[in-house]
């Protein structure tokens, strides 16, 4: 049984921890057989946990994944914009994907955050960015507006052009290129 888990996780320590996280107590005690489709990586283990969550929790989790810095207040405001209760995140916390306190929503690992974001449909990501754009201000609002856009938007383009020009003047060429792109 241990050999099968190690083989499934390809010896990757994070994958081994995450695969074991999803085993039942009986499977951990070798009193029940292992599933035939054990995840081959930590990312796949995260994806399985994400897919098992209700849609409202997955959407709230997506907002947390798209929020720069994981500010809980921003996530809560964006949840409100979408008509979600912030308590929707509690299930994700119980599944070990995040931890949260009054200030932050923190993912258990960067791969979990990436798995949440990339497993969402592009429309859901745009919707999430749109809600976040209404929940923040300043440069963050502009970036979320850009990610939420479904077509050309002159106001967003002009804002990004200004950001790029300012970054270039400050010698932050990579940031300038990102804004102009």
User: How confident is the model at residue 181, as a pLDDT?
Assistant: 86
Supply 145's token pair.
Answer: 């507006």
Q: Are 133 and 77 in contact (CB under 8 A)?
A: no
User: How confident is the model at residue 106, as a pLDDT?
Assistant: 96
Mean pLDDT (10-residue bins), the chain, 181 residues = 62 64 68 65 82 95 94 96 95 94 94 92 96 94 94 92 92 91 86
Alpha-carbon gap, residue 116 to 67, rounded angstroms: 12
User: How confident is the model at residue 75, as a pLDDT?
Assistant: 96
User: How confident is the model at residue 35, as a pLDDT?
Assistant: 67
User: How confident is the model at residue 3, as a pLDDT?
Assistant: 66
Alpha-carbon gap, residue 115 to 119, rounded angstroms: 6
Q: Are 91 and 53 in contact (CB under 8 A)?
A: yes
User: How confident is the model at residue 48, as a pLDDT?
Assistant: 86
> Whole-prediction pTM value?
0.81
């Amino acid at each position: 049984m241990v050999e099968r888990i190690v083989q499934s996780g390809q010896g990757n320590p994070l994958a081994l921890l995450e695969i074991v996280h999803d085993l039942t107590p009986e499977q951990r005690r070798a009193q029940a057989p292992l599933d035939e489709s054990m995840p081959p990586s930590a990312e796949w283990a995260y994806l399985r946990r994400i897919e098992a969550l209700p849609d409202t929790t997955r959407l709230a989790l997506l907002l947390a994944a798209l929020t720069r810095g994981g500010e809980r207040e921003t996530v809560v405001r964006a949840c409100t914009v979408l008509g979600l209760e912030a308590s929707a995140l509690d299930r994700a916390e119980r599944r070990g994907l995040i931890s949260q306190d009054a200030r932050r929503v923190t993912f258990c690992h960067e791969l979990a955050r990436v798995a949440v974001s990339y497993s969402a449909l592009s429309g859901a990501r745009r919707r999430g960015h749109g809600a976040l754009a209404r929940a923040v201000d300043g440069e963050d609002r502009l970036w979320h507006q850009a990610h939420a856009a479904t077509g050309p938007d002159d106001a967003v383009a002009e804002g990004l052009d200004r950001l790029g020009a300012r970054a270039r003047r400050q010698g932050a060429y990579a940031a300038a290129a990102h804004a102009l792109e």
